[in-house]
């Protein structure tokens, strides 16, 4: 199974290891100036901790070495102020400017390391671990984001009979299907389209500036791309995979971005009810109970106190 670490950018890995190495190098170099043997020992231990996980995948690094590296980095960051304090108490001021520069450099390196960690956490929050697509939360945030052009189309699609694949061939085969469908959607969607894994086997596309014609063309394209060729389930087994697709437009169908998802989901439901493996666009009118869709719950009225 693909994990978030599998899709971690190379620049993030190199930046993390680079800042770790720079922190240890600055601390070791400073200590070599004051105490050569201790500085050499710090350098050797630091290089061992960094290189111990360099050839392994980040997901395979155990908690023990990771914790040891964290302790080593913390000790290295605290070393220059400690040396500065010792020099001050002993009355030696020759190396004070050098130590001050080392402190400032380490501070900047620690900030860079924190920035890498924040970037990783942000990527983890907005990226689906299995497919590498955007998460539902990231998709909805982009859907609600204020923009000049409030015209866009939403395409929701669901893999037909996905549970049968899991039941017959196992969850690893289901994961293969999800990754392959995501890869085909990336190619078919093209640039400028936000693509997300919206649910278990449900995907969503957001096309800014797309009218009815472009949204319909996009829906047809992704529908054909997924069902064009069988998917390899592993062990030489290949099966055809199809999707049901529903579309909705803003502002043609609704002026509320949240309701746009509801309408696209209803169109997707209609595609399933009609036999699956097809594209259905949201009708101009709202679906009713006669269409097989439950009646929406009434919205509570706001009191004067709440309105104020």
* Catalytically annotated residues: 201
Helix spans in the chain (H): 10-34, 36-52, 63-90, 96-126, 136-144, 162-169, 171-189, 212-227, 257-273, 304-307
Rounded alpha-carbon distances, angstroms, from residue 183 to 40, 119, 134, 208, 233: 49, 24, 13, 21, 15
Q: What is the DSSP letter of 209?
A: T
First vs last Cα of the chain: how many Å apart? 52
CB-CB contact of 243 with 159 (8 Å):
yes
Comparing C-alpha atoms, which of 257, 138, 279, 143 is closest to residue 196?
A: 138
CB-CB contact of 95 with 84 (8 Å):
no
Q: What is the DSSP letter of 245?
A: E
CB-CB contact of 177 with 209 (8 Å):
no
CB-CB contact of 203 with 197 (8 Å):
yes
């Amino acid at each position: 199974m693909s994990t978030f670490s599998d899709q971690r950018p190379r620049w993030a890995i190199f930046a993390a290891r680079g800042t770790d190495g720079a922190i240890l190098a600055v601390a070791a170099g400073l200590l070599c100036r004051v105490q050569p043997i201790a500085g050499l020992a710090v350098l050797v231990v630091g290089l061992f901790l960094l290189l111990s996980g360099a050839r392994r995948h980040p997901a395979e690094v155990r908690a023990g070495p990771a914790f040891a590296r964290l302790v080593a980095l913390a000790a290295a960051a605290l070393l220059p102020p400690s040396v500065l304090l010792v020099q001050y108490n002993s009355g030696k001021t020759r190396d004070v400017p050098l130590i001050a520069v080392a402190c400032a450099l380490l501070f900047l390196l620690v900030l860079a390391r924190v920035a890498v960690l924040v970037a990783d956490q942000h990527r983890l929050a907005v990226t689906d671990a299995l497919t590498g697509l955007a998460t539902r939360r990231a998709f909805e945030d982009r859907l609600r984001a204020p923009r000049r052009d409030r015209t866009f189309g939403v395409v929701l699609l669901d893999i037909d009979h996905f549970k049968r694949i899991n039941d017959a061939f196992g969850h690893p085969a289901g994961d293969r299907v999800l990754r392959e469908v995501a890869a085909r959607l990336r190619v078919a969607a093209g640039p400028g389209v936000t693509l997300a894994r919206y649910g278990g086997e449900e995907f969503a596309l957001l096309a800014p500036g797309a009218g009815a014609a472009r949204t319909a063309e996009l829906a047809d394209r992704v529908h054909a791309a997924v069902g064009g060729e069988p998917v390899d389930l592993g062990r030489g087994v290949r099966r055809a995979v199809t999707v049901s697709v529903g579309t909705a437009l803003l502002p043609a169908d609704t002026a509320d971005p949240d309701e746009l998802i509801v309408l696209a989901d209803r169109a997707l439901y209609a595609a399933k009810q009609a036999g699956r493996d097809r594209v259905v666009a949201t009708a101009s009118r709202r679906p009713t109970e006669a269409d097989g869709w439950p009646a929406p719950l009434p919205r509570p009225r706001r009191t004067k106190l709440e309105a104020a």
